[in-house]
Amino acid sequence: MNKRETNNPNEVINQNHETKRMNTPQNAKKKKDKDLPWWVELLFVQIGLPDKLLIKILKAKKNSKELIKKDQKTLIIFFFVISTLAYFYPVIRHAKSKLDCEESAKNYIIKNKNIKPINSRELKMLSTNFCYGGEEIYEIENLKN
């Protein structure tokens, strides 16, 4: 028997097709026509950063894309929680500063005004009024004199 007869003709055709497909001028043209991204051109060609850094950046980019594909639901929940906290932070900060102001106003009223028959509700009212620009504290001083 001849070697040509023993070979499967489909295998020979597949091998020829694969070699033709890999060496086509279209594939070579695609590879040659690809331009570098602007940031690679700027950082690694013009400035001259080391190639090891480019490799690390590209690996990190690939890993981040895979992470986003795998954990998309978790990332959406994480960003929702962060945006909710960022939305409510000014409200929380305002409430804290209001409470701090009321506390310092209470201490100021107790130390400087010497008002004996005042209950806690009136003291809170006076301190809140003082924090928002009210002048009742000064009127109390004028009434005493």
The tokens for 47 are 């400035």
The residue among 61, 64, 65 whose CA lies nearest residue 53 is 61
The span from the CA of 15 to the CA of 7, in Å, is 12
The span from the CA of 127 to the CA of 134, in Å, is 9
Residue with token string 């109390």: 140
Sorted by where each begins, the domain ranges of the chain are 1-34, 38-70, 72-145
The span from the CA of 137 to the CA of 134, in Å, is 8
Per-residue pLDDT of the chain (145 residues; tens, 9 = 90+): 555 555 565 565 566 556 655 656 565 555 565 787 888 888 888 898 898 999 999 999 999 999 889 999 999 999 999 999 999 999 999 999 999 999 998 888 888 776 666 788 888 888 888 888 877 766 665 545 4
Name the helix (H) or strand (E) containing 77: helix 72-113
